[in-house]
Structure 1
């Protein structure tokens, strides 16, 4: 494609500076144009930086490079604070073309949990406005330049800087294509993790909990750094119905292929799905069908699933109208596992935002438990590690209230010489610790296959 036009960028930034000086505050300026030759996946695999996103139904791929503006927040109301900062910044956004400014990021699972050293680059809540953003959907491929223009800014200097950053975006970079060797693998032995499940079952039998999700953390010490681009290519090849994401902070990358959408908003219409209850995939079509039918009929799995449906509905109730949920769950089939899934839709009330919905829902019983406060306390006391951004919302939102957030499951944190894998499962009455351990093994395999970790 043609290089973005210098004079057009200068004119855009001049007008943004005029508005900034008039209002005495920064103005976001966005210029977007068709970019049929720019492939977000190819660009991400070349740069191995920024933010990558590939969601299904609807299909959308994003690659954002460079940080033009950052919003961070801590505490229990962190998403409300992010929404306040973003809304303030975009109040008078100057938009040239059909695409509004778009913010990318996520948050920690539990802001009360002490932060482990390998998660220090990832704040309680952290969102970036990418300098250059490439998107691909049913309408084609688009390139966005997003700038925060201050009163007194130099439009010519901003335009030169943006064009230099664009040249970096499209510049071909050498691929690492390295598959590190494993120096050491650290994980809680199966018997010790299963003892934690037994503790959870004891609390459930005693009436303290109706459900709690316990996760596992597997750490690999490596002899070289992973090529996150190569890993993403493999995840893309095997993605099935999964959504893909990669978030870079410094030299760390949190990435995964998750089956679960927490909440999306398009023109005020919210979409989500309850996802709980799982079994493995069969080796033959007949076995796979039999396993799916058994899952649909399993009372324990159906109970776990119903709790998630019920809690999502309760969490959204005050924020929405016309809440609808499918009468019965269906099967969501992924490469190594199949889940019970119930689609849900609602209309967001005008006085609320998508991030209000995220704040209300997280953590759902699919990743936390019930009652929520008691389950979180049990996880803090018993799980034994910092989840960081694992099982937390990761996604995007634009200045018009649209956005999409995933639950960051089937994921890994890559650092220069370590790799951290995470997987969990829901414990309810009737769970068996050995079965739950095997379920986590199946879930770990989905990301482990793309990482090609070899002992």
Structure 2
């Protein structure tokens, strides 16, 4: 990393900051073919890690040179406003623009549980150093916010010191934890919640509601998020991976679901609803998939999600298209019905407008949306926090990608919280829905290795 080149970028940003009397973001990116995002995340076990497909992109961000936290129902509009105001006069050296990383709570109206306290309603960070890997190779970018009163030389010196920390020796690995206690609502009590949901559906109050489970492990040591991510990476199949750190807490997962992505003004998403287990033999697995694709209940649940996504996007897009039939998305322990959807953003609209329009989709909330959210608040019995909410990235050109944070766990010192849910519609059976959550929990429980180190 060339200090003189970095200083030139910071000095140019400082001149713009003085001219406009406001902060200016500066980015300098360089090819870094020998650096591996996953290896660096395993080493530091901090910051932000991301590994998504279609298109393939891996990110590792360390340090925070700027951040925004926003609360309430207008949180995304506030993030959008502040981010693009910051980027208006950006100084960009190299092919890559500034890129913001973060996520948000599922429900701003739900009281925040203590273990979710470090995770705000919406929280995004501009990493000081960001390593990306995609079809164009591996690139390392230095990102810095330069104020009118900043000293460019001091910023360059501090940035290079942080750069050296990227190559620091790995921190001592935490001892492999064992579970002291496992706390979860017993199956009969959770199934009674499903029965309550079915009563609301039969009465016409709801057509669908998603109910989740919360499993808490008390541990004798802290989990190693790097080792967990390595195991998730090795068995990721078609899942997208993410890890976001806030202080000593880490929210980590391997989700099958993309909420919305944007590339050069074009949006892509998919409706994901309807689930079945994976089978042991290829022949049996084909049959399970074929049965899922022909199941009237699962197809009905899936079509509800497709229709709601289309309705949600209608006012902000053009050229809105959905596949005529769902395809099968096969993961390690479960397979889903999936319908690809594409559209073009209207002028003046942003990716975060799309996120606001879609979240929560019926795949994680229900229908009608406000009624389902009220039912979840009053019946589910725990704070979802960032579970089932959007997590992702956004760059200064309006491109970005947000996942639905499913198949996930919140790791805190001495504890681990796991989450999984399923959609309840007419014809759902409480025992079957409980078994579906068990299948979905299995992928994270396997990766956590809580008692088999």
Q: Could you report, residue by residue, the CA deviation over 1:364-417 in whole angstroms, capped at 9, with x for unpaired residues?
A: 000000000000000000000000000000000000000000000000000010
Q: Which residue of 2 aligns with 1:395?
A: 392
**2:381 aligned residue (384, 395, 408):** 384
**2:73 aligned residue (72, 76, 84):** 76
- The CA distance in 2 between the partners of 1:174 and 1:131, in whole Å, is 20
**2:424 aligned residue (409, 413, 427):** 427
**2:438 aligned residue (435, 441, 444):** 441
Q: Which residue of 1 aligns with 2:91?
A: 94
Conservation of the 8 A alpha-carbon contact between 1:204 and 1:211: yes
- The CA distance in 2 between the partners of 1:181 and 1:277, in whole Å, is 34
Alignment of 1:296 onto 2:293: yes
SS for the counterpart of 2:397 is coil
Conservation of the 8 A alpha-carbon contact between 2:351 and 2:399: yes
Q: Which residue of 1 aligns with 2:261?
A: 264
Q: Which residue of 2 aligns with 1:111?
A: 108
Structure 1 residue runs of 4 or more that deviate by more than 2 Å after TM superposition: none
Q: Which residue of 1 aligns with 2:225?
A: 228
Q: Which residue of 2 aligns with 1:255?
A: 252
Give the superposed CA RMSD. 0.7
Q: Which residue of 2 aligns with 1:287?
A: 284
TM-score normalised per structure 2:
0.99
SS for the counterpart of 1:91 is helix
- Structure 2 gap ranges (5+): none
Displacement, 1:55?
A: 0.1
**1:194 aligned residue (143, 168, 191):** 191
SS for the counterpart of 2:120 is coil
Alignment of 1:454 onto 2:451: yes
Q: Which residue of 1 aligns with 2:119?
A: 122
Q: Could you report, residue by residue, the CA deviation over 1:183-214 in whole angstroms, capped at 9, with x for unpaired residues?
A: 11000000000000000000000000000000
- The CA distance in 1 between the partners of 2:103 and 2:396, in whole Å, is 17
Q: Could you report, residue by residue, the CA deviation over 1:274-298 in whole angstroms, capped at 9, with x for unpaired residues?
A: 0000000011001100000000000
Displacement, 1:246?
A: 0.1
TM-score normalised per structure 1:
0.99
- The CA distance in 1 between the partners of 2:177 and 2:438, in whole Å, is 21
Alignment of 1:371 onto 2:368: yes
Conservation of the 8 A alpha-carbon contact between 2:174 and 2:221: no
Displacement, 1:45?
A: 0.5
Q: Which residue of 1 aligns with 2:235?
A: 238
SS for the counterpart of 1:318 is helix
- The CA distance in 2 between the partners of 1:238 and 1:95, in whole Å, is 37
Q: Could you report, residue by residue, the CA deviation over 1:145-172 in whole angstroms, capped at 9, with x for unpaired residues?
A: 0000000211111111000000001222
Displacement, 1:91?
A: 0.6
- The CA distance in 2 between the partners of 1:340 and 1:184, in whole Å, is 35
Q: Could you report, residue by residue, the CA deviation over 1:330-384 in whole angstroms, capped at 9, with x for unpaired residues?
A: 0000000000000000001111000000000000000000000000000000000
Q: Could you report, residue by residue, the CA deviation over 1:18-56 in whole angstroms, capped at 9, with x for unpaired residues?
A: 100000000000000100011000000100000000001
- The CA distance in 1 between the partners of 2:174 and 2:133, in whole Å, is 25
SS for the counterpart of 1:450 is helix
Count of residues in correspondence between the two structures:
452
Conservation of the 8 A alpha-carbon contact between 2:100 and 2:125: yes
SS for the counterpart of 2:195 is helix
Q: Which residue of 1 aligns with 2:415?
A: 418
Q: Which residue of 2 aligns with 1:152?
A: 149
Q: Which residue of 2 aligns with 1:359?
A: 356
**2:169 aligned residue (164, 167, 172):** 172
Displacement, 1:175?
A: 4.7
Conservation of the 8 A alpha-carbon contact between 1:46 and 1:175: no
Q: Which residue of 2 aligns with 1:15?
A: 12
Displacement, 1:77?
A: 1.4
Conservation of the 8 A alpha-carbon contact between 1:177 and 1:230: no
Q: Which residue of 1 aligns with 2:212?
A: 215
Conservation of the 8 A alpha-carbon contact between 1:256 and 1:410: yes
CA pair 177-290 structure 1, distance change in 2 beyond 3 A? farther
